[in-house]
């Protein structure tokens, strides 16, 4: 799209918003919405017809381009990386991308710290010997050994118990692990990428997260923006998800009507990209053809109704 066309689209966006605020006539508003939908940049593709996807992530917003740039720069550096972001923003995708652009030949191994029982943490990470505890019926290598020469992704690191944090720090400092029930140390070469949706600096002050471990993990920080802070990517993501989901099912992709698109762009998306993908799966499962406002989840439709009521109240004042 040319710069003049970009400017036209922005002006039309402003005009449509003005019309909504002013409660324009029912005849004018649908016409404006249709015209705007036709003149918007193709949301599922760039000017050359390619979806702006990198490292398995879709995004054309400046904040996402900064994330992509950081991945490319830090990947080959072989230092610890801390990925911060809300649930559903794609933290594991970032971790995998950091591994993929590195020179490491070993495996990418992932563990969700919030899902590991406290009494099994040490075994999960470092392994165990047969008979070392009830249920240990055979020797088992832990995640550090499995990721030797590669990358270990520790998701939700803020949920790791304090005593385990000390053992993790020791393993990172020495490059050695000892399986539960063993006296022998095993040397490993593992890169750590950790992630959390918690404020670790606040956790350090509250003494629920070790400061020395925080410094060890926080060599390079990559912060993922929530979807509500990159709303321009919502049409791109929505249409791309619809296309992918249709390809999985062998059906014709649904399209997004102007009112439905406006509702998606207005929603706060507490579950971020993952929630948007699930919404696109929902509308695909429930219908065919163009997605209209009434096809969307009740909570998203309610936000539109709430916004209109706010506008009515402002008009009355």
Kindly state whether residues 209 and 253 are assigned to the same domain.
Answer: no
Q: Are 97 and 75 in contact (CB under 8 A)?
A: yes
Kindly state whether residues 80 and 169 are assigned to the same domain.
Answer: yes
Helix (H, G, I), strand (E, B) or coil at 175: coil
Kindly state whether residues 238 and 97 are assigned to the same domain.
Answer: no
- Assess if residue 302 is contained within a domain: yes
**pLDDT tens sequence across 16-35:** 565 555 544 444 555 554 44
- Assess if residue 57 is contained within a domain: no
- Assess if residue 114 is contained within a domain: yes
> Where is the domain boundary, 223, 245, 267?
223
Centroid of chain to Cα 183: 40
Q: Which two tokens stand for residue 151?
A: 């990358």
CATH of the domain at 304: 1.10.8.60
Kindly state whether residues 279 and 231 are assigned to the same domain.
Answer: yes
| Helices within the chain (DSSP H only) | 3-21, 28-39, 62-74, 91-100, 121-126, 143-146, 162-174, 200-205, 211-217, 234-249, 258-266, 272-286, 298-316
**pLDDT tens sequence across 135-177:** 877 888 999 999 999 999 999 999 999 999 999 999 999 999 9
What pLDDT does residue 43 have?
Answer: 39
What pLDDT does residue 21 have?
Answer: 54
Kindly state whether residues 217 and 88 are assigned to the same domain.
Answer: yes
What pLDDT does residue 50 have?
Answer: 63
What pLDDT does residue 292 have?
Answer: 95
Helix (H, G, I), strand (E, B) or coil at 304: helix
Which residue range forms the structural domain that includes residue 214? Answer: 62-223
Burial of 127 (0-12, 13-18, 19+ CB in 10 A): buried
Average model confidence (pLDDT) across the chain: 85
What's the 3-state SS for 44-106? CCCCCCCCCEECCEECCCHHHHHHHHHHHHHHHHCCCEEEECCCCCCHHHHHHHHHHCCCCCC
Q: How many domains does the chain have?
A: 2
Q: Are 107 and 146 in contact (CB under 8 A)?
A: yes
Which residue has tokens 């020469």?
149
Kindly state whether residues 91 and 210 are assigned to the same domain.
Answer: yes
Q: Are 257 and 292 in contact (CB under 8 A)?
A: yes
Q: Which two tokens stand for residue 110?
A: 């992932």
Burial of 246 (0-12, 13-18, 19+ CB in 10 A): middle
H/E segment holding residue 223: strand 220-223
- Show the low-confidence residues of the chain (pLDDT under 70): 1-51, 305-317
Beta bridge partners of 186: 177
Q: Are 89 and 226 in contact (CB under 8 A)?
A: yes
Kindly state whether residues 195 and 249 are assigned to the same domain.
Answer: no
Q: What angle do helix axes 28-39 and 258-266 make, rounded to 10 degrees?
A: 80
- Assess if residue 140 is contained within a domain: yes
Helix (H, G, I), strand (E, B) or coil at 6: helix
Kindly state whether residues 295 and 265 are assigned to the same domain.
Answer: yes
What pLDDT does residue 138 have?
Answer: 85
At 291, phi and psi to the nearest 5?
A: -80, 120
Q: Are 61 and 233 in contact (CB under 8 A)?
A: yes
- Assess if residue 121 is contained within a domain: yes
- Assess if residue 261 is contained within a domain: yes
Kindly state whether residues 218 and 242 are assigned to the same domain.
Answer: no
Kindly state whether residues 69 and 105 are assigned to the same domain.
Answer: yes
> Where is the domain boundary, 186, 202, 223?
223
CATH of the domain at 212: 3.40.50.300
Kindly state whether residues 22 and 147 are assigned to the same domain.
Answer: no
Q: Are 241 and 267 in contact (CB under 8 A)?
A: no
> Where is the domain boundary, 183, 206, 223?
223
Kindly state whether residues 147 and 280 are assigned to the same domain.
Answer: no
**Global pTM value:** 0.78
């Amino acid at each position: 799209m040319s710069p003049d066309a970009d400017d036209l689209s922005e002006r039309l966006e402003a005009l449509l918003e003005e019309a909504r605020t002013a409660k324009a006539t029912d005849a004018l508003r649908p016409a404006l919405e249709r015209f705007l939908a036709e003149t918007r940049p193709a949301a599922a593709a760039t000017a050359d017809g390619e979806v702006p996807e990198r490292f398995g992530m879709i995004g054309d917003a400046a904040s996402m381009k900064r994330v992509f740039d950081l991945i490319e720069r830090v990947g080959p550096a072989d230092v610890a990386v801390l990925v911060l972001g809300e649930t559903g923003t794609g933290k594991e995708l970032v971790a995998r991308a950091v591994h993929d652009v590195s020179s490491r030949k070993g495996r990418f191994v992932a563990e969700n710290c919030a899902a590991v029982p406290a009494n099994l943490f040490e075994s999960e990470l470092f392994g165990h010997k047969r008979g070392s505890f009830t249920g240990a019926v055979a020797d088992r290598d832990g995640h550090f050994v499995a990721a030797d020469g590669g990358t270990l992704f520790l998701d939700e690191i803020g949920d790791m118990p304090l005593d385990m944090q000390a053992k993790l720090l020791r393993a990172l400092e020495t490059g050695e692990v000892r399986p539960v029930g063993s006296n022998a140390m095993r040397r490993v070469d593992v890169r750590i990428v950790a992630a959390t949706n918690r404020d670790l600096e606040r956790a350090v002050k509250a003494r629920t997260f070790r400061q020395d471990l925080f410094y060890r993990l926080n060599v390079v920080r990559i912060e993922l923006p929530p979807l509500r802070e990159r709303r321009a990517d919502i049409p791109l993501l929505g249409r791309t998800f619809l296309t992918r989901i249709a390809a999985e099912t062998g059906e014709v992709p649904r399209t997004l009507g102007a009112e439905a698109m406006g509702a998606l762009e207005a929603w706060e998306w507490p579950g971020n990209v993952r929630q948007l993908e699930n919404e696109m799966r929902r509308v695909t499962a429930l219908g065919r053809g163009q997605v209209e406002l009434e096809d969307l989840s009740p909570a998203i439709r309610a936000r539109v109704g709430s916004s209109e009521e706010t506008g009515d109240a402002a008009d009355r004042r």
